[in-house]
Structure 1
Amino acid sequence: MSRAPCQKRWLSQAVRMPPTLDFASQPFGVGVCDNLKLIASGSMDVSRSQSETQRRTTLSQVLKRLRVREGYRTADMAREMGVALRTYQRFESGALGIDFNKIFRFARVVDADPWGIIFAAEFGSVGFAIHAADNHAASLLLTMLRRFDRRSGKDIAVLDPRSLVKIFSQSFEQIPLRAERLKADLEQWMFDEAFDGEDEDDD
């Protein structure tokens, strides 16, 4: 079967697809040329965009924010984690880098999401760690990915990158929609409570 130049370039990048796969029949009408454009455009960032210094800086900011949020002093954290004060200070400063063991111990003390901390340092977002701290969003994401891998992980090999981007995007787009719905429900509940309180005062 002859292939278009873009398909040859795609296959030359060591991405192996089933030999009988018809790219034109991919979900959402995705073709291999579209994948190349998607990757070449830079809209699909698969590189480590943060330098080691940036990762350590972000990690330090995250650790301090989460510690202060829970009202701990550095000496308190050192004691709770079972490490020397100097060791903890170096850890919080980012000098030790991404130390998985210490991050997980830290997260248990402050009741935060350890993977949220790690992801935040990786893509330079202090806010992500803070936002995921209470609901453990990053850990839940990894849990669901692990569950998918156990059940039907091989299916992921059939899809090309843009199809996967489409699927993942649709899932993440549900988050702000659900958040807005919950905010609206909370506002309605507060309004109803206030209105009911006025009725009681009138009685």
Structure 2
Amino acid sequence: MSRSSSRKPRERDEALSCVLKAIRNHRRMTVQQVADLMALNKRTYERFEAGEGFLKVDRIFAFARATDSDPYANWASVKMGAPDFAIACIDSKLLLLCVAHARELFLQEGADLANLQAAPIVEALKVAFTMLSAELDRSRKAANRWLGDPGDPGDPGDPTAED
């Protein structure tokens, strides 16, 4: 076995451990609380959170239910090695919603989905994510206005605001 292939599971386990701990801490939950909600004994959960043992998809979904998080974002965070992605998606359920809409498209179109080319998928996603980015920008500007942030160029009290 090559050295790089023997490291991959360990790296995945470490990433999983970081993601699970970050989500549990973000939700301000104890190990025992999550273990109870997952119907696991505490030691079994501790091993799962440590990234030990065989990873089961069912356990990722049980953890997501227990912590009210996005199971697909949790898994993507493990693959990316970026626990902050799971936290960013924790309340919006961004990837869960993407998967749900992909499922709806599959239910509507069936096997014809195989005929889709990558380019129109990429273009559709660019439009969707540009709209989401614009919504986040609007939300930030609204929050700045509400807070009376003088650094917001949209603030009428800002002497640097354009007329």
TM-score category, normalised to shorter length: 0.7 to 0.9
Which amino acid in the other structure matches residue 143 of structure 1?
A
Match of 2:77 in 1: 120
SS of match in other structure, 2:74: helix
* TM-score (norm. length: structure 1): 0.62
SS of match in other structure, 1:72: coil
Q: 1:75 aligns with which of 32, 40, 50?
A: 32
Q: Which runs of 4+ in 1 moved over 6 A?
A: none
Which amino acid in the other structure matches residue 23 of structure 2?
L
CA distance in structure 1 between the partners assigned to 2:127 and 2:25 by the alignment: 35
Query: Given the superposition, is the C-alpha separation of residues 167 and 80 from structure 1 closer, same or farther in structure 2, using an over 3 Å criterion?
Result: closer
- Identity, in percent, stands at 28
Higher-Rg structure is 1
Match of 2:58 in 1: 101
Greater RCO, 1 or 2 (C-alpha within 8 Å, sep 6+): 1
* Structure 2 stretches lacking a partner, 5+ long: 1-6, 150-163
* Structure 1 stretches lacking a partner, 5+ long: 1-49, 193-203
Match of 2:95 in 1: 138
Match of 1:7 in 2: none
Query: Given the superposition, is the C-alpha separation of residues 85 and 135 from structure 1 closer, same or farther in structure 2, using an over 3 Å criterion?
Result: same
Q: Give the number of aligned pairs.
A: 143
Q: Deviations over 1:75-99 (max 9, x none)?
A: 3322232212221111001113532
Q: 2:41 aligns with which of 84, 91, 94?
A: 84
Match of 1:14 in 2: none
Aligned-residue Cα RMSD (Å) equals 2.3
SS of match in other structure, 2:99: helix
Q: Deviations over 1:50-82 (max 9, x none)?
A: 933222211110111111222222233222322
Q: 2:136 aligns with which of 155, 164, 179?
A: 179
* TM-score (norm. length: structure 2): 0.75
